[in-house]
Amino acid sequence: MPSYTVTIATGNQWFAGTDDYIYITLVGTEQCSERTLLDKPLYNDFERGAVDSYSVRVEENLGDIVLVKIEKRKYWMQDDWYCRYITVKTPSGDYVEFPCFRWLVDDKEVVLRDGRGTHIPQDDKTGLVKQHRQKELETRKKTYRWKEWQPGFPMSIDANRHKDLPRDIQFDSEKGVDFILNYICGGSNLFVNQFIHMFQSSWNDFADFERIFVRIKNTISEYVMQHWKEDFMFGYQFLNGCNPVMIQKCTKLPDKFPVTHEMVSVSLERELTLEKEIEAGNVYIVDYKVLEGISPNCTDPCTLQYLAAPICLLYNNTHNKILPIAIQLGQTPGEDSPIFLPTDGEYDWLLAKIWVRSADFQHHQTITHLLRTHLITEMFAVAMYRQLPAVHPVYKLLIPHVRFTIAINTKAREQLICECGIFDKANATGGGGHIQLVQKCTKSLTFRSLCFPDMIKIRGMDSKEDLPTYFYRDDGYQVWEATKSFVSDVVCIYYTSDETVQGDEEIQAFVKDVCSFGMQDFDQCEFPKSVKTREELIEYLTVIVFTASSQHAAVNFGQYDWCSWIPNAPSTMRKPPPKQKGLADVNLIMESLPDCGRSSWHLGAVWALSQYQENELYLGMYPDEHFIEKPVKEAMGKFRKQLAEITSSIKKRNEGKKLPYYNMSPNKIPNSVAV
């Protein structure tokens, strides 16, 4: 009587084990085994982290094993179980692996396909595997449904609460990523709890902010606190701060920003006119026009809050330092919208810079961070679950890079960006302004703007000779190329030609779902509706992996460094932008900056958002072996080697720097958007 040895691995995460009954059925090309209970006498089966083996006896040989059906049935009370993989040893001694990496909840069954072969749809020849593939996608489309959380947003998952999500995409421990708990923990760690309810209470002077600022020696945050008033620090942040995506080469001064040579001549160092400096490529501009018309937070009737849409002109001096030379705090020039200059009074100039920093904070939080990493990655993730079965190589490639993204975004919609959420407590765009901002920017969001080299080039920031200290660009180029090389290696293993890509109906459905449903076919989105070549598919997948990992890391994990010193990144302003010069003093600035309560909520926010998760998986780490093929494992090894070399070069460059840049260092880039 032939006997098959079945080995089953249970997950290592909390509550992965089960006491429920587990049954298995082996499906071969010739016939199926009987439904068999997997149970050893006097043994606790399927414990957390366990690898258990069982014998399945059959009357006759089953042929090639192509499917395995696993069923879980209640023993005493429902007990979820996480299965990592199943290996079947045939009577002839061959091993067949069945990757699983999913939860079995309630009285659920899962049918797994072996991990061998290419498994793109046109390679399936038998009705059995075609039917399995089709049934999985039909079930997925019912489980992963699109929903428009707010009109004009990229589409997201249809779930109101974290606990409503499919178990496979929930956090392992919901408690660990609860925003409220993290804020309380942050407040305790940062000693701000005594101030957190002190709304309307202004600080007396800048030194007062040190009462909630935790001084950590020899860190960027401490350096920012010491130098935030200086022009070089203000300019440097446009290159390597939290929001290094706004600065662009100025090729012509816009009519709405009438800066003259006479205004800025004292700031120019090359004995050229402003016009000639622009022609020489030494002038840069930052324009927060997207903030114009956005409603400021009015959730607290006791505190008026204000937004501005400033424009800032920057100059690359002879020491390659980016310095501000002119600031206008609105989009419309005129007597009520003066152009502030470094030659103005100390506090006039400082207050103008603070307004720019506050606008930059709003743009960063809502557009650069929320929209362009979190929401976009979730959109790709939902489309992936809906259109790609677990055996598809692109599913296997992407799944580590969307881990927990839908969960963290659902939590954010529950607690952070919802009505009366945490966002409303401290941010000038709270109370609905952040919704308007996402709606406004989604209309103009293009696929090409997510391609890192294009994003750099379209802003005229691609010359290393012009800007040798733009580390975000330099490190980003390296990581983008390494990621693209890895994606290319994987794609070329499974797709032998452009025709193979065109013939993959699942990939085409995935790309179309993103554009037609995820982006709702917005007129300006320019997302592709199909991919026709291997190169197009490689770029498309590189965008997804890079956005979910490297781009998110670059704009997320530096938040405590750059935003914990409140005057450097005010989350709100409590006085309107000045309409004339000569009025600013310390008192006006303190009355404009966030009060004690909002400062404390802000500090708790940037602390919580800057924390890496416990047991974080960094770029290139793939402990769940969705791929079992040797060529892919070799590609992963090559990818990790390239990433290690990039990490080493960044570490070497940072040695001795007072402002090291490491937000794009691969050893600090998590695989996915999970915080």
Q: How far apart are CA 560 and CA 569, in angstroms?
A: 10
C-alpha of 78 from chain center: 34
Q: What is the pLDDT of residue 525?
A: 77
Residue with tokens 């506050």: 358
Name the residue ranges covered by the structural domains of the chain: 3-116
Q: Identity (one letter) of the amino acid at 462?
A: D
Q: How far apart are CA 508 and CA 522, in angstroms?
A: 19
Angle, helix 127-143 to helix 376-387, in steps of 10 degrees: 140
Contact of 341 with 326, CB cutoff 8 Å: yes
Q: What is the pLDDT of residue 174?
A: 52
Task: Pick the closest to residue 581 from 341, 305, 255 (CA basis).
Answer: 341
Q: What is the pLDDT of residue 322?
A: 98
Q: Which residues contact 44 (CB under 8 A, 6 or more apart)?
A: 19
Q: What is the pLDDT of residue 184?
A: 53
The two tokens of residue 10 are: 């249970």
39 marked as part of a ligand binding site: yes
162 marked as part of a ligand binding site: no
Q: What is the pLDDT of residue 523?
A: 67
The two tokens of residue 338 are: 């003066």
The two tokens of residue 185 are: 């923990």
Task: Pick the closest to residue 94 from 4, 198, 24, 223 (CA basis).
Answer: 4
The two tokens of residue 174 are: 């919901």
Q: What is the pLDDT of residue 117?
A: 65
Backbone angles phi, psi at 103, to 5 degrees: -90, 140
158 marked as part of a ligand binding site: no
The two tokens of residue 394 are: 């692109």
Angle, helix 376-387 to helix 505-513, in steps of 10 degrees: 150
DSSP H or E run through 68:
strand 65-73
52 marked as part of a ligand binding site: no
205 marked as part of a ligand binding site: no
**Residue 648 CB neighbour total at 10 angstroms:** 13
Q: Which residues of the chain have pLDDT under 50?
A: 175, 190, 196
DSSP H or E run through 307:
none
- DSSP lists the bridge partners of residue 109 as 71
Q: Whole-number mean pLDDT of the chain?
A: 92
pTM: 0.95
Q: How far apart are CA 503 and CA 353, in angstroms?
A: 55
Alpha helices in 432-503 (DSSP H): 433-443, 452-458, 471-494, 498-502
Task: Pick the closest to residue 108 from 147, 161, 69, 164 (CA basis).
Answer: 69
pLDDT tens string 398-443: 999 999 999 999 999 998 898 888 888 889 999 999 999 999 999 9
Residue with tokens 């032939």: 2
Q: How far apart are CA 102 and CA 183, in angstroms?
A: 31
Length of the chain (residues): 675
Q: What is the pLDDT of residue 313?
A: 98
SS3 407: helix
Domain 3-116, CATH number (from 2.60.120.1270, 2.60.60.20, 3.30.70.20, 3.30.300.30): 2.60.60.20
